């Protein structure tokens, strides 16, 4: 009987939970876990099942077009509760529920675990900006999740310190490193990274020089902030034509539609592309000169490839990169974004290690559960 229910629903969640699942498999502990996919990112996660050779045991249907955050939360809680009730009828109720990060899926999972008196394990615990609106609603989600967590898998010492300051018992915190580095190294060092997994369009971009990657998707950057980034890229592409600006779009219509109608496609050295596979992203990392992003995962992955980056936003919960001097906060105004690009693009940055993880986080997490279930 499985003792741990692993819950994910978004692309970053499966990337960060997959190496833990694979570590359980490696230790012949796979029977101790079951996997539930909420399908929060229904169209984005499918490719990762094949990539990591993972098949969810349970699939929920939580997404409705145009639903509000309260509607999404209510629907996720309701569907998770129904699934637990079914598992209970078959005497398969887990001892632990584990979820990752700061999404609606982790928020709902923590609430449902508490209300059913099931221990909750929080992967990537302790990230904080101390501002509920940056990022929104993620800062609220992860802080609420921490309230009833049994074991906090904190990626860094700073994350642990954040939790202790909030009154969390230090004995319930385990510093593991971030599992995204485990996934990155797993794919980078595997036979799966070969030309057949890279589209013709990405291969063409890889043949160009001076690549700058751009991504923007966070809810607080919709609207005016996104427009400011678009204007900034337009200015930079004209002022620095020697660079090729690759903007990876996002399926959220609040991003995709605005980007498609922005006119950036008319710029010779701006390339707007559809979301890429994980293998394609890793291939791009090997060619990048600089990154402009609001993605937490990219902030964590970039130092492994020694890529400096500017964070599109006023705050970041991943302060380690700022402290190490390879990650920079740009703000959200047009002048701030262009200024950050110009100031840091050719800066001499020494990225000697990745402060977010060493590739052994999954082993530390599996060690914990192996002792719990012994």
Burial 144-183 (b: 16+ CB within 10 A, else e): bbbeebbbbbbbbebbbebbeeeebeeeebbbbbbbbbbb
Residue 223, φ and ψ in degrees, nearest 5: 80, -125
Q: What is the location of CATH 3.40.50.2000 in the chain? A: 4-177+359-372, 199-344
- State the burial class of residue 354 (Cβ atoms within 10 Å of its Cβ: 0-12, 13-18, 19+): buried
Q: What are the catalytic residues?
A: 102, 124, 138, 217, 219, 250
In three-state secondary structure terms, 202 is helix
How far apart CA 224 and CA 191 sit, in angstroms, is: 43
Which architecture characterizes domain 199-344 according to CATH? 3-Layer(aba) Sandwich (3.40)
Q: Phi/psi of residue 292, each to 5°? A: -120, 115
What's the pTM? Answer: 0.90
Q: Which of 40, 102, 99 is nearest to 67 (CA)?
A: 40
- Tell me the two tokens of residue 222: 């919709």
Q: For every one of its 374 residues, what pLDDT tens digit does the chain have, with 9 covering 90 and above?
A: 689 999 999 989 999 999 999 999 999 999 999 999 998 877 767 778 888 999 999 999 888 888 899 999 999 999 999 999 999 999 999 999 999 999 999 999 999 999 999 999 999 999 999 999 999 999 999 999 999 999 999 999 999 999 999 999 999 999 999 999 999 988 887 766 665 678 889 999 999 999 999 999 888 889 999 999 999 999 999 999 999 999 999 888 888 888 888 889 889 999 999 989 888 999 999 999 999 999 999 999 999 999 999 999 999 999 999 999 999 999 999 999 999 999 887 777 889 999 999 999 999 999 999 999 98
Which of 66, 55, 99, 54 has its CA nearest to residue 80?
99
Cβ atoms of 122 and 106 closer than 8 Å? yes
- Name the CATH topology of 4-177+359-372: Rossmann fold (3.40.50)
**Residue 306 CA to chain centroid, in angstroms?**
19
Strand partners, 313: 331
Sign of CA pseudo-dihedral 218, 221, 223, 229? negative
């Amino acid at each position: 009987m499985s003792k741990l229910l692993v819950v994910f629903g978004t692309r970053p969640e499966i990337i960060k939970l997959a190496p833990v699942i694979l570590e359980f498999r490696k230790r012949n502990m796979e029977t101790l876990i079951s996997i539930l996919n909420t399908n929060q990112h229904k169209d984005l996660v499918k490719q990762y099942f094949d990539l990591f050779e993972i098949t969810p045991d349970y699939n929920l249907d939580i997404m409705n077009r145009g639903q509000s955050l309260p509607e999404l939360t209510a629907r996720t809680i309701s569907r998770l509760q129904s699934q637990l009730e079914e598992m209970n009828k078959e005497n398969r109720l887990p001892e632990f529920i584990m979820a990752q990060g700061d999404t609606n899926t982790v928020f709902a999972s923590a609430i449902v675990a508490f209300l059913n008196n099931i221990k909750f394990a929080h992967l990537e615990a302790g990230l904080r900006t101390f501002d509920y609106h940056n990022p929104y609603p993620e800062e609220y989600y992860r802080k609420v999740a921490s309230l009833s967590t049994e074991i906090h898998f904190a990626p860094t010492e700073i994350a642990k310190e954040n939790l202790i300051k909030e009154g969390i018992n230090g004995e319930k915190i385990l510093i593991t490193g971030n599992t995204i580095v485990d996934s990155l190294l797993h794919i980078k060092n595997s036979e799966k990274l070969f030309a057949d997994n890279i589209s013709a369009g990405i291969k063409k971009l890889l043949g160009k020089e001076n690549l700058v990657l751009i991504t923007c998707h966070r809810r607080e950057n919709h609207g005016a902030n996104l427009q400011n980034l678009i204007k900034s890229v337009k200015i930079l592409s004209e002022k620095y034509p020697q660079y090729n600006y690759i903007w990876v779009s996002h399926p959220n219509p609040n991003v995709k539609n605005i980007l498609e109608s922005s006119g950036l496609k008319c710029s010779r050295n701006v390339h707007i592309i559809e979301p890429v596979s994980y293998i394609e992203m890793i291939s791009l990392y090997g060619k990048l000169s600089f990154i402009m992003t609001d993605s937490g995962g990219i902030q964590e992955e970039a130092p492994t490839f020694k890529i400096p980056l500017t964070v599109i936003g006023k705050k970041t919960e991943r302060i380690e990169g700022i402290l190490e001097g390879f990650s920079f906060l740009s703000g959200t105004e047009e002048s701030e974004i262009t200024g950050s690009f110009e100031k840091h693009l050719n800066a001499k940055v020494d990225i000697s290690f990745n402060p977010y993880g060493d590739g052994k986080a999954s082993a530390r997490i599996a060690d914990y559960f192996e002792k719990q279930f012994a």
